[in-house]
């Protein structure tokens, strides 16, 4: 009886105290959630593979953990719920660090600076510079993004929300929306591939991307931050560190 109790206490404590990293390592793969509609961070290439900056970042984290990488593609607004219900271990999806999101998930150190811009059709003479200029117009966004949140603050803007940015752009190209609001680097990537579109505004916000994990997974968060620090180090920084720190 005593033995049984001791064994159960041991098992319960293993479940409670073993960190996220132990779990990932014993499973053998890291589950990374993203929405693959966001070039150059995550998108589907001509061979049907999900590639991009965030995917390379994910590969580097998995490699340094010594596990395989499994990418889980989903809608952007499904990412945080999937993280909280443990369907994925981390979110690496060009996700802006915001106070609202910080209430439910923990973010890594920032890894990219970004901001919203307005994209319109080149053949129209509509060239909005501010969100105010969008009042009375129809704006396509991806559901739950910072762009969605910003334009939704204006009563007079008709916001049409899509699961994927690719569909928001189709709406604009077909003339059913007057503009798309999204992050500048991704806007540039879409416009480069779609000569009928143009970025009409300057950068309207100042945002930073972070990798999101569950709040209790502090070991994983620390590990991810150490990987980001390593990746940000130039060979010059490494030399300085070698010769000038004790
Ligand atoms: N940075 C914006 C946000 O966090 C948009 C991110 C969209 N990412 C994506 N993979 N579709 O809300």
What does the pLDDT look like over 103-130, one tens digit per residue? Answer: 999 999 999 999 999 999 999 999 999 9
Is the pLDDT at 15 greater than 60? The verdict is no
pLDDT of residue 67: 98
pLDDT of residue 14: 52
Tens digits of residue pLDDT in 21-73: 999 999 999 999 999 999 999 999 999 999 999 999 999 999 999 999 999 99
Which H helix or E strand runs over 222?
helix 218-232
Best probe residue, ligand 1, of 36, 83, 183, 212 (max atoms within 8 Å of C-beta) = 183
Residue (of 17, 61, 24, 39) closest to 228 by Cα position: 61
Please state whether the predicted TM-score (pTM) of the whole model is above 0.95. Answer: no
Query: Per-residue confidence at 101, pLDDT binned at 50, 70, 90?
Result: very high
pLDDT of residue 245: 84
pLDDT of residue 13: 55
Q: On the CB side of 93, how many CA atoms lie within 13 Å of its CA?
A: 30
% the chain with pLDDT above 90: 92
Query: What domains lie within the chain, and their CATH numbers?
Result: 20-113+208-244 (3.40.190.10), 114-206 (3.40.190.10)
Lining ligand 1 with CB less than 6 A are: 34-35, 37-38, 42, 76, 93-96, 114, 142, 145-146, 165, 183
**By the 8 A CB rule, do 146 and 116 touch?**
yes
Contacts with 96 (C-beta within 8 Å, 6 or more apart), sequence order: 114, 146, 183, 207, 208, 209, 210
Terminal Cα distance for the chain, rounded: 55
Supply angle C-alpha 72, 214, 38, rounded to 5. Answer: 40
Query: Per-residue confidence at 17, pLDDT binned at 50, 70, 90?
Result: low
Residue (of 142, 136, 141, 129) closest to 156 by Cα position: 136
Tens digits of residue pLDDT in 157-213: 999 999 999 999 999 999 999 999 999 999 999 999 999 999 999 999 999 999 999
Nearest CA to ligand 1 atom 7: 94
Best probe residue, ligand 1, of 145, 166, 168 (max atoms within 8 Å of C-beta) = 145
């Amino acid at each position: 009886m005593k033995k049984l109790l001791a064994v159960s206490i041991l098992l319960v404590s293993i479940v409670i105290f073993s960190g996220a990293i132990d779990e990932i390592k014993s499973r053998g793969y890291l589950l990374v959630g993203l929405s693959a509609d966001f070039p150059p961070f995550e998108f589907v290439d001509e061979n049907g593979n999900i590639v991009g900056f965030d995917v390379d970042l994910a590969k580097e984290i998995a490699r340094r953990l010594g596990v395989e990488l499994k990418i889980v593609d989903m809608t952007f607004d499904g990412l945080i719920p999937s993280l909280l219900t443990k369907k994925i271990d981390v979110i690496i999806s060009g996700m802006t660090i915001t106070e609202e999101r910080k209430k439910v998930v923990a973010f890594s150190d920032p890894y990219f600076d970004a901001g919203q811009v307005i994209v319109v059709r080149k053949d129209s003479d509509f060239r909005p510079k501010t969100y105010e200029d969008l009042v009375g117009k129809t704006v396509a966004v991806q559901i739950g993004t910072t762009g969605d949140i910003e334009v939704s603050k204006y009563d007079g803007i008709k916001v049409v929300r899509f699961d994927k940015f690719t569909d928001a752009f189709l709406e604009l190209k077909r003339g059913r929306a007057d503009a798309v609001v999204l992050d500048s680097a991704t806007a540039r990537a879409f416009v480069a591939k779609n000569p009928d579109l143009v970025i009409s505004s300057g950068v309207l916000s100042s945002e930073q991307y972070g990798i999101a994990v569950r709040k209790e997974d502090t070991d994983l968060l620390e590990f991810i931050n150490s990987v980001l620090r390593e990746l940000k180090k130039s060979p010059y920084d490494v030399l300085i560190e070698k010769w000038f720190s004790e």
